């Protein structure tokens, strides 16, 4: 008896390999995937603008990396004694505007250089809702109608909420993809739609929002040979289909759900040899996380020595892996 609805996942004709450079963009679900890749020693760069949810913010950010846009203090605004950028997550905010600009521009530069060499971009779209400024609240607050990536807890009356039409989303994605492939012709793009429910928009509204993202992304996949769709949303919503796979807020997929999606992603989007190496690296990473209660015992010293040798062999066999952290940890013999 089948206890889960099966999805016929199509394997990528040209799968991801360990040596590839991967840029990850989009919602908080992106960071779950990105953190797993980073821990397994893939060459990745996550969300250079911070977490982004809507297509406008994602496209605007990617285009700024292509252009290597530089920000100035005039691009920031002051709210509650902190300087913010409408295009960036709050982790880029600072009480010192010069420091905020320095952090933002350092991230911009890194993203520009990484995008030049990237093999893959994984874009996870979270919502079709976007927010636009109603009116400038100060000379440095942006122009009327300007879309914002993050509201920074500013008063709700500062913004107009807009549900993007499919034609709007498709048009901006199409333009962005043309620019990306002109900038780096070897790029491949994988789109996913986040299974995180945006319940604050309303249940019906959330489903309308996700449906528009899915339709728009499939239009891109049909137009661009180097563009692919991975059904993260469908795996959680239609295959798992159970609140046991959600966190206590009933909105965010939990660890088990995320691991399930990552497993399916590896099976269908990664080269077989890469999948095997992932398991070897995972064992080393888990061993490095081991905390000994009695670190001076012979048993623990033997544990360190054994894993030190395994790590050195793995590093020599696969020089593209950066196992420096593990080597340093296991060398405490």
Kindly list the domain boundaries of the chain, sorted by start residue: 21-270, 272-333
Residue 142 region by backbone torsions, left for phi larger than 0, else alpha for psi between -120 and 50, else beta: left
- Listed range (1-10, 227-236, 290-299, 317-326) with the worst mean pLDDT: 1-10
Q: Would the pLDDT of 171 be above 80?
A: yes
Q: What is d(CA 37, CA 166) in angstroms, rounded to the nearest whole number?
A: 31
CB–CB of 55/169 below 8 Å? yes
Cβ atoms within 10 A of the Cβ of 204, count?
A: 8
Mean pLDDT estimate for the chain = 92
Q: Is the pLDDT of residue 19 over 50?
A: yes
The whole-number pLDDT of residue 243 equals 85
Cα 5 to the chain's mean position, in Å?
Answer: 27
Looking at the predicted structure, is the pLDDT value of residue 209 above 90?
yes
The residue among 170, 124, 114, 128 whose CA lies nearest residue 265 is 124
Q: Is the pLDDT of residue 293 over 90?
A: no
pTM of the model: 0.92
Summarised one tens digit per residue, pLDDT across range 64-79 is 999 999 999 999 999 9
The CATH topology of domain 21-270 is Rossmann fold (3.40.50)
d(CA 75, CA 84): 9
pLDDT beyond 90 at 137: no
């Amino acid at each position: 008896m089948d206890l889960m609805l099966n999805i016929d996942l199509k394997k990528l004709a040209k799968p991801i390999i360990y040596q590839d450079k991967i840029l990850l963009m989009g919602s908080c679900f992106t960071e779950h995937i990105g953190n797993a890749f980073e821990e397994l020693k893939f060459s990745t760069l996550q969300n250079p603008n911070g977490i982004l949810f809507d297509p406008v913010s994602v496209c605007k950010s990617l285009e700024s990396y292509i252009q290597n846009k530089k920000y100035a203090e005039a691009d920031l605004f002051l709210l509650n004694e902190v300087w913010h950028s409408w295009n960036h997550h709050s982790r880029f905010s600072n009480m010192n505007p010069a420091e905020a600009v320095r952090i933002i521009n350092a991230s911009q530069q890194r993203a520009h250089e990484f995008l030049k060499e990237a093999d893959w971009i994984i874009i996870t779209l979270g919502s079709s809702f976007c927010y636009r400024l109603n009116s400038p609240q100060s000379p440095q607050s942006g122009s009327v109608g300007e879309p914002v990536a993050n509201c920074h807890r500013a008063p709700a009356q500062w913004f107009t909420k807009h549900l993007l039409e499919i034609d709007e989303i498709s048009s901006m994605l199409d333009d962005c993809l043309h620019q990306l492939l002109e900038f780096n012709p070897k790029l491949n793009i994988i789109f996913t739609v986040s299974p995180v429910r945006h319940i604050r928009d309303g249940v019906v509204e959330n489903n309308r929002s996700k449906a528009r993202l899915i339709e728009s992304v499939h239009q891109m996949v049909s137009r661009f040979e180097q563009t692919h769709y991975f059904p993260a949303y469908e795996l959680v919503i239609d295959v798992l289909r159970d609140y046991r796979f959600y966190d206590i807020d009933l909105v965010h997929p939990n660890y088990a759900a995320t691991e399930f999606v990552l497993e399916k992603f590896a099976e269908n989007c990664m080269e077989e040899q890469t999948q095997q190496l992932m398991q070897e690296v995972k064992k080393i990473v888990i061993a490095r996380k081991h905390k000994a209660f009695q670190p001076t015992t012979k048993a623990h010293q033997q544990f360190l020595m054994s894993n030190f040798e395994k790590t050195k062999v793995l590093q020599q066999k696969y020089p593209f892996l950066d196992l420096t952290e593990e080597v340093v940890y296991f060398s405490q013999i």
